[in-house]
Each structure stands twice: as structure tokens, then as C-alpha cells.
Amino acid sequence: MLTRHRLLLPLLLLITAFTSPRVAHAQTRSAGLLNFNADGSLFACSNRDSGTVSIVTWPDLKLLHEIPVGLHPEGVAWIGKSGSLACCVYGTDEIVILDATAGNITRRVPVFDEPYGIVSSSDGTRLFATLEYPGQILDINPADGTIRKTWQVGSMLRGLALSPDQKFLLTTEYLTSKVLRVSTTDGTVQQTFEPASTDNLARQIVIAPSADRAWFTHIRSRVTAAHGNGSIFPYVSVARLTGPAAGTRIRVPLDTIRGTRVTANPWDCDVTPDGRTLCVAFAGTNDMYLLNITDNHGELDFKAALQLGNNPRAVRCSPDGSAVLVCNALDFNVVAFSLQDGRELGRVAVTKCPLDEQLLLGKKLFYTALPPMTSRGWISCSSCHPDGDADGRTWQQPEGLRNTQPMNGLASTHPLHWSADRDEVHDFEHTIRGKLMQGRGLLQGTLPEALAEPIAGRSTALDALAAYTNSHSFTLSPYAKQGLTEAAKRGQLIFHSEKTGCATCHTGPLYSDSQPAPPGSAQTPQCRYRQRRPLRTHGASL
């Protein structure tokens, strides 16, 4: 159901062997879910669903260790030239230090909230990490786990890269794709690479070996077009770091770089050690483009396409430039491809699938932009709800302005949508078949009207999609970890007072009565996880 015809590589004449010397470059240049150690003999890969980090030998692809670290690990970075590495455990708000030889955790460093990207100085004396919320960069001593400095830099930070001279960091704002250049001395923002207003969901950023530019993927979300052909577009952008154009950025659309071939949800990219090729993985269409970097202005030409596994989320070129490795998150493996002729060099299972059969199918459907979920390849459920979170956008819908809702606690807040026009997740079959996704759908036979008779149990695939969608839970607010402060206790009294009446509608464990308020308008939103999202008023812009 989720497969498609395999993409054929262009003629091998289009895939030229590298003629310049291949110089190994330090893995610390960029945060990522997959990273090599300093001598290129090992790589580490975080496994989000399993809550583990895997240590694998290169190039023979043997799994040495799989180390449990906690809920939803993200970025990994080797510490200098040592055999230790650090991992951001996003779901449990800590950074763990691992011994790759022994295969165990040597230290846990609690942080405020949501660590995502991490890099190490070349001498291994400093770790830098992003906290998505509240938009901070930490300077950590890996020897004793102390947080030396905390810098408030921007909003919702994810990607992180360290300059070769160790003098500055580049970080991405996840929801806006803004790039910030930050001093490693005092955390000041030295330069801002401004995005377009439609730019969205920028994760990792990688500095080119020449150190004159940095590449990062993101999407473009046109909130005025609720249509599968005009809402979501894949992009890679380059930030210029040196020369007359320093401080500027340009976007390269990836839906037209290969004629009319559409791709979706670019998740990660990497540059080959010689700086000539950019590798971009698409988590929605399960493929990767190899793109020629043609000049100093960041222009790209299509070179080759490789078909990948399910939901590729990490790309890393080997330090010698011979291969590119991809982590297929929903196949739970890493696959290596030759950068000379595109053939598969080998693969390794980095973890066992921790999901049952139904949840795995549902998650694959949620992340794919391929049939039967869509017909055009532009968009998946995860384009707006990555990992069950929200894209931070306010969309213009026929019934009015509607901001994307996160899916945490969704199972307990039916009916669904701001307009309460879905009483079960299965009703999103209307969205799959509608103008937004334009798929053939998951249900055989007649589709009842939304809010009509239930359709649960009529489609294995639709049941699986509903099971995954309803599976998202909450983590504790960072402001409640140590109990409520005195100010928070005063706020609690105000919230529950008759004078404010907040608790009249925002009631129960999820602080929502799941009713339109007032009748005929929008449904009462739940108030949990509120610290990450803009406060919306009771007006039309919800």
C-alpha cells in the first residue's frame, strides 16, 4: 500500500567520481540524528521510537551497542576525539553522556526543556545544545555536566552547527526557519538570516567544508491555500557566511529541480567533504536527491535520485566522501549508498521496532505523501503535525482562521477540529479524499458524511491511522517539574475563580469541555502544553 515504483538512478554518466582529494572533516560541524566519530570508524544513531542510541562500526556496519537513554532522543554528537558522545533526550529533558566502548550512560544532565541539537568543540571541552523551548543555547562542560552558560537566543531552536574556527554557532528557528549566527564567547546574536513569512519547519543546518555557506532544509507553508497543489512546498536554503553576499540567504525549490517530480517533507541534508554535492532526504516521499552545487551563489542542479526506506530522517556523508548514510526511521535501519555510482553498500538494523503492527502502519500512513494518502505527492499529515506537534501556522479555512493544533491528548478531546466537524479520527477520510490531500483514501465503499454513522472497524488502514493519531500523550510542563511556584498558585486561583470563569469551559484533566464556545463557533481548546504555543484569544484568529 505504501510502496511505489522504484526510482531509477539516472545514467551512471551523470554520477561522476570525485576527482579532488577526500579530506575527512570533523563530525562536530553539525548537529544531527546520525553522526560519525572523529576517525570515522564508528557512527551513532538516535532511535526516537525506541528511546535508544545505537553505536555502529563503519564501514562494516556491525551494531556494537544499543543504549537505552529515555523518551524521544534526537541529536547525537561525539565529544571531541574521544570515545564518548552526547545525546539530547527531548522527551525527558536531559542530555546524556555515553561511553561508546562500554555501551552505557556515564552522566545525565537535566535541562529546562526539549533539548534537540548538540555539537562538541573539536577539543571536547565544550558541548553546545539547543533547547527548542524556550529558545536557548546551553554551553555545557562534558567533564562534570555543569551548564556553564545559558543564552536566550531566539524562538523554538532546533538545528545547530559550529564553525570550523569554533568562534560562532548557527542555529535554526524551527517554526520560522530563521537562521541566527551566535557568538560562542558570550552568546550574542551576531547576524540574522531572515526567512520569508511562509518558511516553516527548519531542523538541522550544516556548514559547508569551505565554511563560506550553510545549508538547511525546510518547507514553505502557504496558509492562504488549503489545497494540496498550493499549500506545502519543499525547499533547501543556503545562508551565505562570507564574501559580498554575507548575511543573505536564498531558497531553492525542490519540487521543480527535477522537472515535474514532486517531493515532500525535506527532513535533513548533508554536504560531501569536497563540497560539491548536497544530499537531501525527503521524509514524505521516501527518497533522496543528490544535487550538484554549481557555484558560489548556492545554485543547485539535479544529479541523481535514490529510493529510500520509510520516513528517512537523517543523512550523513562518510568522512572520506565514499558514501552517504541514511536513517530510515520507520524501517529502524541505516542504509549506506555509494556516492560514486549510487549502489547500496549495505544496511544495518539499529533497533527493533517497538510499535505494534497497527501503530506502525498508522504511523507510516501519517508520514507518507504517497498513495493512497495523496495522489500528487505534496503533503502528508505530518507536514502540519510533525511528531504530533503543531507547525505554528494559522491557516485560512473556509470557516475562518484556524491555527494548527497539536495532537497531544487528542484521544480525550473528541470531537475534533476547531469547528468540531469530526467526531472520530476516521472522519479524516474526508480530508484524505478532499482537495487538500487528493488521495484515493483508505476506506472501500461509500463514505458517510462526517458526524454521521461511525466508520471505525470498516478499514484496517483507517483504524491504524486513528490508533496512531490518538496515541500522542503529554509530558509534564517544565514549569511544574518542581511543583507550582507561588505565582503559579495565584494564577491557579484566578483561573478557577467565578469572576474569570476560565474553568467553566476549560475543565477536566485536559482543560477542555470539548464543546463549541459559544455554540456555532469554535470548540474549546485544551490548555495543556500551552507554554509552547502562542496564546490565542477568543476572537476569530484561533
User: Is 201 among the domain residues?
Assistant: yes
> How far is 118 from 27, CA to CA, in rounded Å?
11
Of 364, 372, 362, the residue nearest 426 (C-alpha): 362
> How far is 120 from 81, CA to CA, in rounded Å?
10
Cell 556515564, residue?
A: 106
The domain boundary residue, chosen from 349, 371, 391: 349
Q: What pLDDT does 533 receive? A: 58
pLDDT-based confidence at residue 401 (cuts at 50, 70, 90): confident
Together in a domain, 344 and 445: no
Number of domains in the chain: 2
525 versus 433: the higher-pLDDT residue is 433
Together in a domain, 312 and 434: no
> How far is 193 from 316, CA to CA, in rounded Å?
24
Together in a domain, 411 and 288: no
**pLDDT tens track for 37-77:** 999 999 999 999 999 999 999 999 999 999 999 999 999 99
Together in a domain, 189 and 322: yes
The domain boundary residue, chosen from 349, 380, 403: 349
Together in a domain, 175 and 50: yes
Give all strands of the β-sheet with 323-328 in edge-to-edge order.
312-317, 323-328, 333-338, 344-349
Instruction: Please determine, for residue 406, whether its predicted confidence score (pLDDT) is greater than 50.
Output: yes
Together in a domain, 187 and 97: yes
> How far is 480 from 487, CA to CA, in rounded Å?
12
Together in a domain, 51 and 126: yes
Are 372 and 434 in contact, with CB atoms under 8 Å apart?
Answer: no
pLDDT-based confidence at residue 529 (cuts at 50, 70, 90): low
pTM, entire model: 0.91
> How far is 506 from 57, CA to CA, in rounded Å?
52
Instruction: Please determine, for residue 5, whether its predicted confidence score (pLDDT) is greater than 60.
Output: no
The range of the structural domain enclosing residue 425 comes to 357-470
Produce one character per residue of 42-67: b if its CB has 16 or more CB atoms within 10 Å, e if not.
Answer: bbbbbbbbbbbbbbbebeebeeebbb
**Positions of E strands within 308-423:** 312-317, 323-328, 333-338, 344-349, 394-397, 400-403
Together in a domain, 330 and 363: no
The domain boundary residue, chosen from 284, 314, 349: 349
User: Is 274 among the domain residues?
Assistant: yes
CA 444 to chain centre: 33
Residue 12 φ/ψ, nearest 5 degrees: -60, -20
Instruction: Please determine, for residue 21, whether its predicted confidence score (pLDDT) is greater than 50.
Output: no
Instruction: Please determine, for residue 26, whether its predicted confidence score (pLDDT) is greater than 60.
Output: no
Task: Pick left, alpha or beta for residue 442 (phi over 0 → left; psi -120 to 50 → alpha; otherwise beta).
Answer: alpha
Are 373 and 428 in contact, with CB atoms under 8 Å apart?
Answer: no
Burial (0-12, 13-18, 19+ Cβ within 10 Å), 40: middle
**pLDDT tens track for 75-117:** 999 999 999 999 999 999 999 999 999 999 999 999 999 999 9
**pLDDT tens track for 165-178:** 999 999 999 999 99
Q: What pLDDT does 403 receive? A: 86
**Positions of E strands within 283-392:** 287-293, 300-307, 312-317, 323-328, 333-338, 344-349
Of 443, 468, 472, the residue nearest 455 (C-alpha): 443
Instruction: Please determine, for residue 535, whether its predicted confidence score (pLDDT) is greater than 90.
Output: no
Share of the chain above pLDDT 90, in %: 71
CA triplet 156, 157, 159: central angle to 5 degrees? 145
| SS3 label, residue 71 | coil
Which domain CATH number covers 244? 2.130.10.10
Average pLDDT over residues 199-211: 96
Instruction: Please determine, for residue 537, whether its predicted confidence score (pLDDT) is greater than 80.
Output: no
Are 424 and 450 in contact, with CB atoms under 8 Å apart?
Answer: no
Are 263 and 254 in contact, with CB atoms under 8 Å apart?
Answer: yes
Lowest pLDDT segment from 97-106, 294-303, 450-459, 507-516: 507-516
User: Is 516 among the domain residues?
Assistant: no
